[in-house]
Amino acid sequence: MNVKKNDTVVVLTGKYNGKQGKVLATSPKNNTVVVEGVNLQKRHEKARRANETSQIKTVEGPIDASNVMIVCDACGKATRVKHSVVEGKKVRVCAKCGAVLDKAFAKAAKAEAKAAEEAPKKRTRKRTAKAETEAKVEE
């Protein structure tokens, strides 16, 4: 199953065909996903205490994972998932544009790049720095 929690997907078939939403939960054993705003079902809730009221709640039901396709953040198109090794780690990649679909990996890569960019400068003693600047001025 190539769909993970928090992915943006588009529904391919059924009553909610063409609707986009975020994946709220996945069930690999049953090959189903729960998508935000898709397959809405009514659930009757009985009051369990004296101060509660009975109500009818609308909740999202599971749909088969084969009926959804991941939407790439970079190109904005529904795409199949390719697997690739980037920086020694196996990640999910967009088949159309080649962008990385794993948000956690992308965040970690950005954080590493930012940390490397903002590395502390090499510390030098004031006397040696002063001597170097004086030597440059004399030349």
- Per-residue confidence (pLDDT) for residue 68, from 0 to 100: 94
CATH fold group of domain 8-45+56-114:
SH3 type barrels. (2.30.30)
User: Where in the chain are the domains?
Assistant: 8-45+56-114
User: How high is the pLDDT of residue 121?
Assistant: 63
Q: What is the pLDDT of residue 54?
A: 95
| pLDDT value for 23 | 95
Assess contact for 99 and 86: CB atoms under 8 A: no
Q: How many other C-beta atoms can be found within 10 angstroms of the C-beta atom of residue 38?
A: 23
Residues of the chain with pLDDT under 70: 116-130, 136-139
**Per-residue DSSP letter, 100:** B
C-alpha closest to that of 31 among 2, 9, 64: 64
Furthest C-alpha separation in the chain: 91
Residue pair 64/100 in contact (Cβ under 8 Å)? The answer is no
Sheet-wide strand order for 68-71: 62-64, 32-35, 20-27, 8-11, 68-71, 78-79
d(CA 103, CA 53): 41
Residue 33: the pLDDT is 96
